[in-house]
Structure 1
Amino acid sequence: MKIVYVDMDDTLCDFSGAYLKALSNNPSIRYPQSQYRFFADLQPIDGAIETVSDLIRSDEYDPFILSAPSTRNPLSYAEKREWVEAHLGYDFCKRLILCAYKGLLKGDVLIDDNIEGKGQEYFEGELIHFGSDAFPDWVAVRRSLGI
């Protein structure tokens, strides 16, 4: 089975939308992501939950969530875990990996909205750049993975 890592922020859930909304609600806040419940309350991106659910059921893929925690908010570690349970169920929490440097992990596919900055550029498998022209949404990712 192919190991697939899926990023959270702006790949599974709408970090940027929540960030901009929090900033517009309180322009004086320097780091909106440092607020209590910021990560736990992020909304899923269209098609993300369905795609990960299909990866779980697949005989071809072994999916994990690989997310870099926010150093500005130590609660992000727990809140990301809460988000996974709320949207993918308790059992999938065992597949949550929080790591600031993604190049350390071995696997076949990394789906991430960034291609560098957290070690993505050193990931040895295929990097699917979510949100790019080639992979603008989960429909394109699903097509590429054949699910």
Structure 2
Amino acid sequence: MARIAIDMDNVMADLTSHMIHLYEQKHGVRVSMESLNGHPDGGGFPIEGETHAFIREAGFFRDLPVMPDSQEVIKALMEKHEVFIVSAATEFPLSLKEKIDWLEEHFPYISWKNIVLCGSKTIVDADYMIDDHDKNLRYFKGERLLFTAPHNIYLTDYKRVNSWKEVAEYFQLTPAMV
């Protein structure tokens, strides 16, 4: 049984599409996902820095859409492996309760004992880490899986997974499990 650490934002929760939606609501401008490619997380919008204000607002993390297939694949992973949800959440104190509430709603089968809200992920000890940020994967000692997001599209240092279906294939989950 392997231990798998899974990030939340832009891995389980679609933070980027939520930012696109909020930006369009506020400014009436629809930004394409592709136009954000290669920009730092939250960057690439016509008004730079605007999205950084969004993540500091109450309710931002509570309303994130769920990444397609993540619920089924994570549940299947939990049947074969020890799974921990690991989020560098303390930078945004409002996110702590919101992330727990979000997980309870969308992933009710994940125990509170398997949720780690932290600052730096350098302390994480697992066999695998699924994350969208180089800063979290760089020092990780286990197998590193980079979950595709616009800000990491040009990184080539890690094994890349583009979807939760690819995560299921990587861990050899059968269709009956997913």
Which TM class, normalised by the smaller chain length? 0.7 to 0.9
Q: How far apart are 1:25 and its partner, in Å?
A: 2.0
Residues 21-36 of structure 1 mapped to structure 2, 5 A cutoff: 21-27=21-27, 31-36=53-58
Cα 1:142–1:91, aligned 2, differ >3 Å: closer, same or farther? Answer: closer
Unaligned runs of at least 5 residues, structure 2: 28-46, 154-158, 174-178
Asked if residue 102 in structure 1 is aligned to residue 143 in structure 2, the reply is no
Q: Give distance in 2, aligned partners of 1:85 and 1:100.
A: 21
| Residues 90 and 117, structure 2, Cα contact 8 Å, conserved in 1 | no
Q: Answer whether contact 1:103 1:124 (CA < 8 A) is retained.
A: no
Q: TM-score, normalised by structure 2?
A: 0.73
1:46 equivalent in structure 2: 68
Q: TM-score, normalised by structure 1?
A: 0.87
Q: Does 1:79 pair with 2:98?
A: yes
Quick check: 2:90–2:118 contact (8 Å CA) kept in 1?
no
Q: Deviations over 1:47-103 (max 9, x none)?
A: 111111111222xx10010111162x4210110111111011165222110122112
Q: How many residues were matched structurally?
A: 142
Give the Cα–Cα distance (whole angstroms) in 2 for the partners of residues 140 and 81 of structure 1: 26
Matched letter for residue 57 of structure 2: Q
- Secondary structure of 1:34's counterpart equals coil
Kindly tell me: are residues 26 and 70 of structure 1, through their superposed partners in 2, closer, same or farther at Cα, counting changes over 3 Å? Answer: farther
| Structure 1 stretch displaced more, 12-21 or 27-36 | 27-36
- Kindly report which structure 2 residues correspond to 1:127-138, keeping only aligned pairs within 5 A, or say none: 127-131=144-148, 134-138=160-164
Partner of 1:11: 11
Secondary structure in 2 matching 1:122: coil
DSSP 3-state at the match of 2:76 = helix
Q: Secondary structure at the match of 1:26?
A: helix
- The whole-number CA distance in structure 1 between the counterparts of 2:103 and 2:111 is 7
* 3-state SS of paired residue (1:20): helix
SS state of the match for residue 12, structure 1? coil
Larger-gyration structure (1/2): 2
What is the RMSD computed on CA atoms of the aligned residues?
1.9
Q: 1:43 to 1:67 in 2, by over 3 A?
A: same
Q: Note if contact 1:15-1:42 (Cα within 8 Å) is conserved in structure 2.
A: yes
1:63 alignment partner in structure 2: 83
Question: Matched residue of 2:161: which SS?
Answer: coil
2:139 equivalent in structure 1: 122
**Contact 1:84 1:92 (8 Å CA) reproduced:** no
